[in-house]
């Protein structure tokens, strides 16, 4: 069945850096848990981190469905720093790593094939007005 009948969030709704943004192309047919922390070091300089656990609502909609259905998609860690001046200039650097879980394993349960971690780094410079 190639028809999509489930609800898809707007693609501009950014949950993380890798899984939903790059691999799945948006949040759909899944749930996630995202605890995050932020710390202000000094005026204008903040550091932040988040851990995102993602899981499919139905194991049958994951790549592992054909052999060994597993609803667990992955655990991702994102961290970064942001510096912003009073006149609106800002710079931000981010790093993320995704640890894929069983939901992405297309191999049968008898074959042990390690899943590869995905990584991303981003730098943003801008003016807020």
pLDDT of residue 69 exceeding 90: no
> Rounded to whole angstroms, how far apart are CA atoms 111 and 105?
10
Specify the range with the lowest mean pLDDT, choosing from 1-5, 38-42, 83-87, 95-99.
1-5
Residues in the chain: 129
Looking at mean pLDDT, say which of 25-34, 63-72, 75-84 comes out highest. Answer: 75-84
Give 128's contacts (C-beta < 8 A, 6+ positions apart). 84, 88, 89, 90
- For position 85, what pLDDT does the model report? 94
- Model's pTM, two decimal places? 0.81
- Percentage of the residues of the chain whose pLDDT score is greater than 90: 47
Q: State the Cα–Cα distance between residues 108 and 103, nearest whole angstrom.
A: 12
Give pLDDT, residue 124.
Answer: 95
Q: Tell me the pLDDT band of 123, cut-offs 50, 70 and 90.
A: very high
- Using alpha carbons, list the distances in angstroms from residue 123 to 37, 76, 92: 20, 18, 6
Q: What is the pLDDT of residues 9-44, one digit of tens each?
A: 777 778 888 988 888 777 778 889 999 999 999 999
Q: What is the DSSP letter of 60?
A: G
**pLDDT given for residue 102 in this prediction:** 84
Q: Which residues contact 72 (CB under 8 A, 6 or more apart)?
A: 54, 55, 56, 101, 102, 103
Helix, strand, coil proportions of the chain in percent (round to 5)?
Answer: 10, 45, 40
Lowest-confidence pick of 4-13, 19-28, 81-90: 4-13
């Amino acid at each position: 069945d190639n028809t999509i009948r489930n609800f898809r969030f707007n693609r501009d709704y950014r949950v993380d850096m890798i899984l939903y943004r790059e691999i799945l192309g948006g949040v759909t047919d899944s749930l996630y848990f995202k605890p995050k922390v932020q710390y202000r070091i000094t005026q204008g300089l903040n550091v932040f981190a988040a851990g995102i656990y993602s899981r499919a609502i139905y194991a049958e909609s994951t790549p592992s469905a054909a052999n060994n259905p597993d609803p667990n998609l992955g655990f991702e860690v994102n961290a970064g720093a942001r510096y912003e001046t009073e006149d609106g200039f800002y710079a931000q650097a981010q790093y993320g790593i995704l640890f894929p879980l069983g939901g992405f394993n297309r191999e049968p349960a008898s074959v042990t094939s390690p899943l590869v971690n995905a990584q991303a780094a981003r730098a943003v410079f801008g003016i807020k007005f």
